[in-house]
Structure 1
Amino acid sequence: MAEEEPIEIGFPMVAAYHGQSALAMAAIVYQAQRAAFALLSPQAVPARRDISIVSGHPGPGVRDAFEVITRAVTRGAYVVDRSLPDARFVAGHAISYSFRITLGERTVEMALRPGVLPGRFFELVFTRDRTTEQERELSALKRAVARDVLAKEPDTLFTMRVS
């Protein structure tokens, strides 16, 4: 729910807002929000002003997907907490593929399931000084992951706890 009436935001709008640099993560967060709002507000369209986010992932695809749908970054209702304990898939990196989405008094804690992002994704993302060939491979992989994630039911991608 925007300021006065509901707005429908599909993934093409998220992708247009974000661009292509972190398309896989933008798709994952788009699906996370679909799953979270279905749990937190099954009977009504949630109001943006009532939503706050804690993200364990600092990336631009994550931030932009949350921002375009909830405006949480602009409203000061978005926090990155790299210490979240769940979905820590990359040893030696302070990054969690998990989120806490709060709507009013209820919160859903979400963690990306292992295997949603393939091992090669992490290898390429965390490779310094990628070659041109590796950049092309990573770009194609991001698009493939986004397609795969968007083709699945959102609740199959995450473990979720509501409190």
Structure 2
Amino acid sequence: MRTIKIYDRDDLIEISFNDIKKYHGYAAYMALGVGFRVVEAAFEALYGDEIPNRKDISILSGHGGPGFRDVFEFVTRVKTRGVYTVDANYPKAQYDPYRPTGYAYVFTKENGESVEVLLKEDFLPPIFYDYLKKGRKNDFTPEEYEDNERLKQELGNLAYEMPIEDLLIINRLK
């Protein structure tokens, strides 16, 4: 089982995907799988083989959903530390046809070095966005609700399992 390693002060913590599921639950399961991989990709790009310290990381998120927020908070404590910013108008990875929101995330080290991680456009199928819209209005039929829950779980598991280069685009910014 893969884990994300991070220091909290001098204490080394290893966080698994299962740990994140216990923290968040299953409501935004797709975001948990993608978010876990986003953190892995950002840490690899910024730190290589070194293990980061929570206090040295800030995050700008183009998507304010609770799944991504909870992954980032659980691993890095950015929200608690006041260094988590959501900008739904971030100009990249905006694929939702019903509202401006981007699946783009910028991780910045204390020294200013940054990496941008983008979800690839073809990962989420059009029906995913239709279900998001219905969910915002609480307008599901029972069948649609069940299909949406199944789809989120399938996408979350797929994101967790697939190669990062097939899921994400990583750009070094500074």
1:117 to 108, 124, 128: 124
Runs of 4+ in 1 over 3 A off after TM superposition: none
Structure 1 gaps, min length 5: none
Q: Which residue of 2 aligns with 1:160?
A: 170
Q: Please report how far the alpha carbon of residue 132 of structure 1 lies from its aligned counterpart in structure 2 after TM superposition.
A: 1.3
Q: Which residue of 2 aligns with 1:107?
A: 114
RMSD: 1.1
Q: Which moved more, 1:151-160 or 1:111-120?
A: 151-160
1:11-160 to structure 2, matched below 5 A, reads 11-104=17-110, 105-127=112-134, 128=137, 129-160=139-170
TM-score calculated relative to the size of structure 2: 0.90
What's the CA shift string for 1:87-131, capped at 9, x where partnerless? 111124021111111122211011110111121111111123111
Q: Which moved more, 1:19-28 or 1:147-156?
A: 147-156
Cα distance in 2 between the residues matched to 1:122 and 1:39: 29
Q: Please report how far the alpha carbon of residue 159 of structure 1 lies from its aligned counterpart in structure 2 after TM superposition.
A: 1.3
The AA in structure 2 aligned to 1:118 is P
Cα distance in 1 between the residues matched to 2:25 and 2:165: 25
Name the count of aligned residue pairs: 163
Q: Secondary structure at the match of 2:15?
A: coil
Cα distance in 1 between the residues matched to 2:121 and 2:30: 15
Cα distance in 1 between the residues matched to 2:128 and 2:50: 36
Cα distance in 1 between the residues matched to 2:150 and 2:98: 26
TM-score calculated relative to the size of structure 1: 0.96
| Contact 2:61–2:104 under 8 Å retained in 1 | yes
Structure 2 gaps, min length 5: 1-6
Q: Please report how far the alpha carbon of residue 161 of structure 1 lies from its aligned counterpart in structure 2 after TM superposition.
A: 1.1
What's the CA shift string for 1:29-55, capped at 9, x where partnerless? 110010010010013100000000000
Distance verdict in 2 for CA 1:145–1:92, change over 3 Å: closer
1:2 to 8, 17, 22: 8
Structure with the higher strand share, 1 or 2:
2
| Contact 2:29–2:67 under 8 Å retained in 1 | yes
| Contact 1:15–1:26 under 8 Å retained in 2 | yes
